[in-house]
Amino acid sequence: MKKVWVSLCLAALCGTVGQNALAAKQQKVEFNWRAAPTEEQISTLTLREAILRAFARNPKISEAAAQIRVGEADLDAAESAWYPQISLAATGGRSHTTDSSGSLNNNGSGGITLSQLLYDFGRTGGAIDEQHHLSEAYRFALYDTMTTVAQDTLQAYLQVKRYRALVEAAKNNVASLEHVKDIAHMRADAGLSSQSDVLQAETRIAGMHATMEQYRASERSALAQLTVLTGVVPSALPELPQSLLNQQITLDRIAYEKSAAVRSAQAKQEAAIERVRQASSNHWPTIKVQAGRTRYENATRSYWDDELQLQVEAPLYQGGLVNARTRAAEGDREAAQAAVEQSKLDINQSASTAYADMIGAQQRQTAGEQQLSSAAHTRSVYADEYKLNKRSLNDLLSVEQDVFQADSSRLTALYDGWDATVRYASAVDNLLDIMGIDREATSGQTLPSL
């Protein structure tokens, strides 16, 4: 009998050692938190590639993906309550037992216990359903995070394109001012005007160079932000996809049920409902069957203690604990319901604002194009009249300023419209669909890759 007891102890010890060895084998490489984020130089960066690189680089997406794995583990833990529970127990040392037949001194014991849950009036089922809903909430939270990261990346991409376009507009204006300076220089050499016209043109050129350097500084800042998001420094950025401008604008029929943010909040509400069911079920008993076999060793004789029992555990009084937990769970449910309404309100506000900005940008762009066409024609007429001494240099420089102002206003309105379009697509949660990125196919256990 002593051999049986020793075998049980060794089995328990080997099981513990085996689990520790498996955990050590699965231990990952130590995370180097001191290392700086990496960057690389590439020739070109498409918009879709920028988004995918941002997905692979952004810690928020990794965190959301890790939360999904946490939810899956919590679900497995909740489902484990329906499986048989097996445990080993072993003791060593002297114990004294006294009953009506006398006393007994035990030197050690060892045994095994098996228990199986039969019914608990919805506590375990509610816990499993709660974790199912939370797993869904974590998955949709990952989708929402992906949309947010894509929006940030797109806006940084647009800022780089915006300032590069403004730099080109400034270069064109400098070239036009250089032409004006050449005309003024020829007129001064011919004695038709003074050298002050040349100096005035040079002053305006210097001012435009200063404006161009301001745009270049803003371009470098925007490029640095894009590099932080994507991990690359691109030399060229291709043109933007026209599919973003072709989306359907329906403020009165926004599909809230397709929004990842709303579905995540709704899944959390359903999980809160399950918590209410769990809390209220604590008024009812738990029924399970338990079997065990224990070996006791003593100086005079050894014996087995066998048991096979149906156990019913029913709480009678706990000082109002069950009712308090039920009220708390009901409060969580109401808060989760309010979160669903808040997410829909946020979508409506963001979409409405983006739509208004989009319409305003389109109107400003149209006005800027008309202004640019008129100013360019006026510049051509003034240049001819200046050569004939019918216009002063101030008139010609003034219309050059009008041309640049119209061109920069047109470009600003153009990229403001792009930015509003991106914000609208992000608000109604179809930004990644437009970009051809399938979140369900490329997320969850794995993340989007290049």
Distance CA 72, CA 109 (A): 38
* Of the candidate ranges 133-137, 144-148, 197-201, the one whose mean pLDDT is the lowest: 197-201
**pLDDT above 90: percentage of residues in the chain:** 48
- CB burial of residue 209 (10 Å; 0-12, 13-18, 19+): middle
The average confidence (pLDDT) of the chain is 84
Model confidence, pTM: 0.80
Residue listed under structure tokens 């933007």: 240
- Strand pairing of 40-44 and 232-236? parallel
Which tops the pLDDT comparison, 390 or 135? 135
As a whole number of angstroms, the longest Cα–Cα distance in the chain is 137
At 231, the amino acid letter reads G
pLDDT greater than 80 at residue 94:
no
Q: Are 180 and 397 in contact (CB under 8 A)?
A: yes
Where does the pLDDT of residue 445 fall: very low under 50, low under 70, confident under 90, or very high at 90 and above?
very low
pLDDT greater than 50 at residue 8:
no
Residue listed under structure tokens 């600003």: 412
- What's the Cα-to-Cα distance from 282 to each of 124, 126, 177, 228, 327, rounded to whole Å? 11, 11, 84, 51, 13
At 205, the amino acid letter reads I
Supply φ then ψ for residue 83, to 5 degrees: -90, 155
Instruction: Give Cα 333 distance to the centre of its chain.
Output: 24
- CB burial of residue 441 (10 Å; 0-12, 13-18, 19+): exposed
Distance CA 387, CA 396 (A): 10
**CB within 8 Å of 262: residues ≥ 6 apart:** 256, 340, 343, 344, 347
The superfamily in CATH containing domain 2-434 is Outer membrane efflux proteins (OEP) (1.20.1600.10)
The confidence score (pLDDT) of residue 75 equals 92
pLDDT greater than 50 at residue 399:
yes
Residue listed under structure tokens 């009953």: 99
pLDDT greater than 70 at residue 337:
yes
What's the mean pLDDT in 408-427?
A: 94
Which tops the pLDDT comparison, 198 or 212? 212
Residue listed under structure tokens 């006005």: 367
Q: Are 104 and 96 in contact (CB under 8 A)?
A: yes
